[in-house]
Chain A
Amino acid sequence: SYELTQPPSVSVSPGQAAKITCSGDALPKKYAYWYQRKSGQAPVLVIYEDSRRPSGIPERFSGSSSGTMATLTISGAQVEDEADYYCYSTDSSGNHRVFGGGTKLTVL
């Protein structure tokens, strides 16, 4: 079955850039989406179609994709950005949806 691979954790100091990667064989042809899930809250879409930012999401959140890797970047991470981040995409057939394993971002 298709898998998206993320690092389990990323840690940065406030104001530093945080980069979270997501690798998958189908990513060269399929969009990646990114969700933020804070403790006790529902997931929130922060990036769609690799690099587009929904309204209401701070500009410090950006996305990119190159080859088999998509990257979520938080420029100048804030303490309030501490959360679990999940990438989401489909396999090469476009029929099967999959989430990455999630990355715990610590900002301290």
Chain B
Amino acid sequence: EVQLLDSGGDLVQPGGSLRLSCAASGFTFSSYAMTWVRQAPGKGLEWVSVISGSGGSADYADSVKGRFTISRDNSKNTLYLHMNSLRAEDTAVYYCAKDQIMGIAADYNWLDPWGQGTLVTVSS
């Protein structure tokens, strides 16, 4: 059974940094791209970032580009999201999700399954 376990969420001050983790099991981790999606309080889902199975390619939403960095350690079956220069509007539950292909192409690709989410709160 494919399982994704998100962790690392915390209360952080504006301008601060945080690293989220997603531990994967039940599939060949390096064969699939992985994605981060977030949901701010009272808002809808927002796609954040994707990384290829090899880790060699990545893409970001404009709202986080230059501040967030996605990475993965295939030897540990773990996905990361490094968040810098955090803003109040980054407050959200962050979910990791498994793509259906190795590359970061969006076509013919979807997210399934998802982790349970981890809460990031940016506030002074």
Interface hits, B92-110 → A, CB 8 Å: 95, 97, 105-108, 110
- In the complex, are the beta carbons of B45 and A86 less than 8 A apart? yes
Provided the pairs A31-B108, A42-B95 are in contact, do residues A97 and B114 lie with their beta carbons within 8 angstroms?
A: no
Q: Please judge, given known A-B contacts A42-B95, A42-B114, whether A86 and B44 are in contact too, CB under 8 Å.
A: yes
- CB-defined contacts of A1 to chain B, threshold 8 Å: 62
Q: Is the CB of B106 within 8 A of A90?
A: yes
The answer to the question of A99 belonging to the interface, with a C-beta cut-off of 8 Å to chain B, is yes
B59, closest chain A residue (CB):
A95
Q: How far is the CB of A19 from chain B (nearest CB, A)?
A: 19
Range, interface on chain B = 20 to 34
What is the predominant secondary structure among interface residues of chain B facing chain A? loop
Query: B45 near A35 (CB under 8 angstroms)?
Result: yes
The residues of A that contact B115 with a CB separation of less than 8 Å are 42
Contact A45 B111 (CB under 8 A): yes
Residues on A with C-beta less than 8 A from B116 are 41-42
Task: Check A100/B44 contact, CB under 8 A, given A42-B95, A42-B115, A94-B105.
Answer: yes
Q: Does B16 contact A (CB under 8 A)?
A: no
